[in-house]
Structure 1
Amino acid sequence: MGEMTERLLRADLSLWPQGSVANNRLGWLRLPNTTEAELRDLFAMANTIDQHSVIYVGMGGSSLGAMTMAQMKKRSGPQNGRNVIFVDSTHPNFIASLPTTDTAVVLASKSGTTTEVDTIFDFFWARMKDPSRFLVITDKDSPLEKKADERGVRRIVTTPSDVGGRYSVLTGFGTVALALLSVSMEDMAAPFTGARGADLDHAEEVALNIFNQISQGRDRLSIYSPKDLDKVPMWLEQLIAESLGKQNKGIVPLPFDDNKEALDRVSGYIEAETLHELGAKFFEWEVITALLGSLLQIDPFNEPDVAAAKAATKSILESGQFLDEPGVDISQIDRSLEAILTERDYVALGGFLNPDRYEEGLTVRDQLENKFTPHAVTYGLGPRFLHSTGQLHKGGPNTVVMAQVVESTKYEHVPIPDRNYGFAELFRAQADGDLQTLRSRGRRALRFKS
């Protein structure tokens, strides 16, 4: 085993700069040894849920790991027939369309203070008010745990406080979703046996290679996986972007990149055909990311720039002062970007759109990539990306050009209980807050309307 990996496994805090939060963020190293009893408890709990549909609400690492687990489970073996709907948007029309009949709701938030999760919890509680149909995943003693306890929800799954959200896929944030779809304990145990057998020598080699490539100016990581496992690159994107995009350093992860031969690219292929193999890749890439933080001399466990956009959103909602900026028509996006792109830039396409329009955003991304090759183009759906690549956009290399896309259609009025704003106002404030924060950090940020 390599020297850096040995130091990591013994929790040597000197790997990272003084003042890092690593002393309370290394609990993920013990997660491969999660006991069968813990997994059996979650599996038994999931089997007591009578509802056919389960809405799983979470943002960033609290949901992307769960999505990845669920996608692999559906791909690699039989399921129990339950329909799991992942929700990581506050778009009012989308929220209003979600089912409430024959439906259970899972609320997932590490901190227990995630605005999206808290407001959607209150929305469904006002409509259902059946504690047996609610499950909560959060850290012990969080505000969300307190609210869930007061409401008497069916189950509160507490997660280790020394595991950050983006490293939490092998906690309840990943395993509850797996339990909801699994038909056997073998399914539940597979990612953990895989993680215990992860190739950590290879992980250190990958970290050193990526660091050497960054040193030579190749700071874009093209991420590939089998086409029917598109959630795997999205999970890795948030892990790398939020962990390493700070202090004007980092590497730009590019899921589904079509220009892997470009001079600024490093290629990373994640091959996993089973839950066992997926568990190994989860742990290997967490190790790779932690080691890259050491090599780059940044703290891979904090997210110093994420809070700024949250604060801007809160300020807008409290003041009612939204941006008077409807945006340039999307038909002009090529011309607008052409005027400001420089040689080392990449485009971050941020779509504050109804999730039902996700594919439309992908089409725009592909068109931009074809137009501006070899410039990289990333795509994220808001507010999801605020909890993943948002840190990179604000704290990583200032080579990003944000192209925010908002809708010109009118939103439905969907009230949020006990708030003086609804989901339409929240969604709009999140878009405005992100734009304001990017510009305050000296980032080039444009708005387009679709």
Structure 2
Amino acid sequence: MKKISPDGNVSFTWSLGPYENFLERRLSVLKRVRFAERLWSGDPTLWKRDIQHETIIRRALGWLHLAQAMEKNLSTLLDFASEIRRGGYRHVVHLGMGGSSLAPRVLREVVPKTKPGLPVEILDTTDPHAIGEVERRLPLPRTLFITASKSGTTVENLALEQYFYTKLTKLKGPRAGENFVAITDSESPLEKRAQERSFRRTFRNVPNVGGRYSALSYVGLLPAALMGIDLTGLLRRARQMEERCGPTVQPEENPALILGAALGELCRQGRDKATFLMPPELAPFGLWLEQLLAESTGKEGKGILPIVDEPLGTPSTYSRDRFYVAISLRGKSSPFHTFLRHMEERAEPVLKIVMEDPFDLGQEFLRWELATATAGAILRINPFDQPNVQESKERTERLLHKFQTTGRLSQPKPLLERKTVRFFGSKKLLRDGDPLHSFFEGIRPGSYIAMLAYLPETSTIVDRLQKLRRRLRDTFRVATTLGFGPRYLHSTGQYHKGGPNKGFFIQLAAEDEEDLSIPDRPYTFGLLWQAQAWGDLGALQKHRRRALRIDLGPNPSKGFEALAQRVRKL
């Protein structure tokens, strides 16, 4: 087990087994090409050498100096949080997708609140049940809505903002804008809407920062300030990591470059599934890491697939296409200690990060951003674009446009229909009469199963999906992921279509129990949710991915039981 001297308060150790030499050689290469120096100076040729990519990259490196930039804005954030509390607001709802919502979710769940603050809800879905539940539970006139979107055109944000703005207009008339705050880029459509609607405030984000690299920008820090989190402590830890990984630090002493070199080299050697092991108190951090790695590296047929929150199994059920990253808190017992010891005895690649306390997330945000950028250079891809994300959006838009002219949502006929479930997919899956059995015929070592759920994210449904996930992992001995739509479209969706063609995609849906109209739109939230599911299924099929949709019917409980019985027969 090798160890770098503590990164401030954080311990970082690794045991790569037969891959140690690959790491050492890569660190020598990074030193020879002056990688750290060129990274901090914003040299786009570290990743690509064509004008189109270089332009994208130059406009995407503002995150490198976020901690320093945001320290100058601390008083603005703290004064605003005090203003909101004094104004009688009692709740905050953060509207955002992908990188505009995951950092606030992590901070809310992981970091302790040391100052007076307000409860913050994260609404990153088009599920009408979840939206309606927030509306029923919170007093809207005393609720502040943050709408966060870099482009200002995110379809989910547009619908959610319109829905709650219309509700508040009925309650407060022309003063409805007092309940809204925007986080966006300068001169975006959202900034213009905020002006037209007299939003309470618009926070123009630091330029040249992509969504998944924006944790330490207004996107993460404004909700954190409203929650009562100590921003000074969070940014101080980030600055410590910045110093440890600066332009003059040699790669072999640079905790971010060591991590990035390990990620990139393990992926190049066929270990492309990063299996994260975290205790419950840190588990939300996995969602942020999932988007960062998957959306940054999953392109050009390459990429690192993050495996997050997978139920723990016995070592024998894990295939040799994985490596393991354990992140824990110092002094806390780890449920993964015995498992990791067995993996190290088998010479499996293991990396361990031990944080002193949750405020070390400030360090970890920056470390993982730097490491991901480094891994991208090793894989020779651009980690700052997402070329395949737009495809699902465009297909969704076409379905909605067709609905406006025909009055119905276009969808294919089911392959097989039973009392409780319906199967949709390629007709080839009917060759032996059982679509599920045929679907898994081509699975092999190195494959992965992605469960894509367009279902209410209730504890009961999550538990059932995790049990199904465990069963599939143990049956086929392959890595598994679980994502809820449409959130995963802004996270692992890029990897699904742009990464290696190794996935087996199971889309799960059910009939909506309730629905909500979207003001000034000819469709409902439920219809938008369905269109997003069908649009992504079509995009997967266009890329020749193995995809199967299973509708669980009007009673998901019975549908799950019927599906579980079929899975047990595999």
- 1:44-193 matches, within 5 Å, as 44-49=79-84, 50-73=88-111, 76-78=112-114, 80=116, 82-99=118-135, 100-101=138-139, 102-129=142-169, 130-182=176-228, 187-193=230-236
What is the CA-CA distance between 1:214 and the residue it aligns to? Answer: 1.7
Aligned partners of 2:113 and 2:228 also within 8 Å: no
Aligned partners of 2:446 and 2:502 also within 8 Å: yes
Query: Would you say 1:297 and 2:380 are equivalent positions?
Result: yes
- 1:202-351 matches, within 5 Å, as 202-257=255-310, 258=312, 262-271=319-328, 272-320=355-403, 321-325=409-413, 329=421, 335=437, 337-351=439-453
- 1:393-408 matches, within 5 Å, as 393-407=496-510
- Could you say what secondary structure the match of 1:66 adopts? helix
Aligned partners of 1:270 and 1:281 also within 8 Å: no
What residue in structure 2 maps to residue 34 of structure 1?
Answer: 69
C-alpha distance in 2 between matches for 1:69 and 1:114: 23
Aligned partners of 2:234 and 2:359 also within 8 Å: yes
Aligned partners of 2:443 and 2:476 also within 8 Å: no
C-alpha distance in 2 between matches for 1:39 and 1:359: 40
Aligned partners of 2:117 and 2:228 also within 8 Å: no
- Could you say what secondary structure the match of 1:350 adopts? strand
Amino acid at match of 1:32: A
What is the CA-CA distance between 1:343 and the residue it aligns to? Answer: 2.8
What is the CA-CA distance between 1:79 and the residue it aligns to? Answer: 5.3
- Could you say what secondary structure the match of 1:48 adopts? helix
RMSD (CA atoms)? 2.1
Structure 1 307/35 Cα, relative in aligned 2: closer, same or farther at 3 Å? Answer: closer
- Greater CA radius of gyration, 1 or 2? 2
Give aligned-pair identity as a percent.
35
What is the CA-CA distance between 1:372 and the residue it aligns to? Answer: 2.4
Amino acid at match of 1:391: Q
What residue in structure 1 maps to residue 494 of structure 2?
Answer: 391
Query: Would you say 1:376 and 2:479 are equivalent positions?
Result: yes
Amino acid at match of 1:66: P
C-alpha distance in 2 between matches for 1:412 and 1:59: 22
Structure 1 96/256 Cα, relative in aligned 2: closer, same or farther at 3 Å? Answer: closer
What is the CA-CA distance between 1:159 and the residue it aligns to? Answer: 0.7
What is the CA-CA distance between 1:335 and the residue it aligns to? Answer: 3.5
C-alpha distance in 2 between matches for 1:372 and 1:190: 45
C-alpha distance in 1 between matches for 2:391 and 2:413: 20
Kindly provide the CA deviation profile for residues 282-337 of structure 1, in whole angstroms up to 9, marking residues without a partner as x: 10100011111111111000000000100000000000242135686389896455
C-alpha distance in 2 between matches for 1:158 and 1:283: 21
Aligned partners of 1:326 and 1:449 also within 8 Å: no
State the aligned residue count: 443
Gaps of 5+ in 1: none
C-alpha distance in 2 between matches for 1:134 and 1:309: 29
Q: Which among 488, 509, 518 is matched to residue 416 of structure 1? A: 518
C-alpha distance in 2 between matches for 1:333 and 1:133: 50
C-alpha distance in 2 between matches for 1:146 and 1:125: 15
What is the CA-CA distance between 1:223 and the residue it aligns to? Answer: 1.4
Structure 1 432/87 Cα, relative in aligned 2: closer, same or farther at 3 Å? Answer: same
Kindly provide the CA deviation profile for residues 40-80 of structure 1, in whole angstroms up to 9, marking residues without a partner as x: 2112212222322211111101000111112222xx34453
Amino acid at match of 2:321: D
- Could you say what secondary structure the match of 2:501 adopts? coil
Given the two structures, how large is their TM-score scaled by the length of structure 1? 0.93
Structure 1 180/36 Cα, relative in aligned 2: closer, same or farther at 3 Å? Answer: same
C-alpha distance in 2 between matches for 1:103 and 1:69: 20
Structure 1 35/262 Cα, relative in aligned 2: closer, same or farther at 3 Å? Answer: same
- Could you say what secondary structure the match of 1:279 adopts? helix
Q: Which structure 1 residue ranges, 4+ long, deviate > 6 Å from structure 2?
A: 330-334
What is the CA-CA distance between 1:444 and the residue it aligns to? Answer: 0.9
Structure 1 58/300 Cα, relative in aligned 2: closer, same or farther at 3 Å? Answer: same
Aligned partners of 1:327 and 1:448 also within 8 Å: no
Amino acid at match of 2:159: T
What residue in structure 2 maps to residue 13 of structure 1?
Answer: 44
Amino acid at match of 2:240: G
What residue in structure 2 maps to residue 361 of structure 1?
Answer: 465
Structure 1 stretch displaced more, 138-147 or 333-342: 333-342
What is the CA-CA distance between 1:361 and the residue it aligns to? Answer: 2.6
Structure 1 397/142 Cα, relative in aligned 2: closer, same or farther at 3 Å? Answer: same
- Could you say what secondary structure the match of 1:126 adopts? helix
Aligned partners of 1:222 and 1:255 also within 8 Å: yes
